[in-house]
Every structure is written in structure tokens, then in C-alpha cells.
Amino acid sequence: MEKKESRKAQDIKNLTFENKKLKASTNSNKKDEKSLPWWVELLFVQIGLPDKWLIKVLKSKKKFTDLLKNQKNLIVIFLFVLTGLTYFYPVVKYSKNRLDCENSAKKYIKENKNLINVNTKQLKMLSTNFCNGGDEIYEIKNLEN
């Protein structure tokens, strides 16, 4: 009987030892899974930024991920519109600068050249030529002299 009881006691001791071993291994796995992200390690552990900032950053990160999950369609549409505006902005800026140049060239031609028989189409042609680097305006001056 004593042998059976001692075997049972040894089995119980072995089981408790194995349970402790399993618990220790699962705890070590949990520790590995919960390691800090590199940016938290760098900014808040190594550099020493205040913990209040970490709390705010983590809250805003959570809000941002929730927003991404809930508003995917809206964000995609917004990015599409933003990309379209970014793509067409240089074209719009070029056109605006071109129109401003033509308007100032028209004013210059009217004020300085004193052309009497020039209609609006010819004036537009001369101003466009001037904005493209042409020197037809200077030839008009030579013809008058």
C-alpha cells in the first residue's frame, strides 16, 4: 500500500512540476507577444518622453484605426478627389499664368503701340505671340517708324 501511495505522491509531484513548467513556458510566450513596438521603445524608453504623450498617441491611434474601419468608402473617395486635384493643379496654374500674361500683353500693346486698326482677334494673336516668346510686337514698331 505504501508503495502505491508513494507512487501516487510522486505522480502528483510530477504533475504539479509539469503544470508549473507549462505555466512558465506559456508566461514566457506571453511576454514575447507583448513586447513594446520599436517606436515606443525609442521615444518613450530611450529618449524619455512623458508618459502622458504615449497615452494620447495610443488613443489617437485607436481612433484612427476605428475611423479607417468604419469610413473606408469615404476615405477612398476623398483620396481619389485629392489625387485628381493634385494631378490637375499644374495645368490650372499654367493656364492662369498664360491668361495673365496675355492680359498684360494686351494692355501693353494698347498703351504703348498706339495701333488704330487692330481688332480684338489680332490683338489676341499679338498678345499670345508675345507670351510665347515671339517678337512680332517689336516688328510692328519698326514698321511704323
Asked if 102 and 127 touch (Cβ cutoff 8 Å), the reply is yes
Consecutive 10-residue averages of pLDDT for the chain (145 residues): 55 61 58 75 89 92 91 92 95 94 87 74 86 76 49
pLDDT for residue 142: 47
- Give me the torsion for CA of 106, 111, 115, 121, rounded to 10°: 20
Distance CA 133, CA 108 (A): 15
Q: Report, in angstroms and rounded to the nearest whole number, the Rg of the chain calculated over CA atoms.
A: 40
Distance CA 114, CA 21 (A): 102
Answer whether 0.85 is exceeded by the pTM. Answer: no
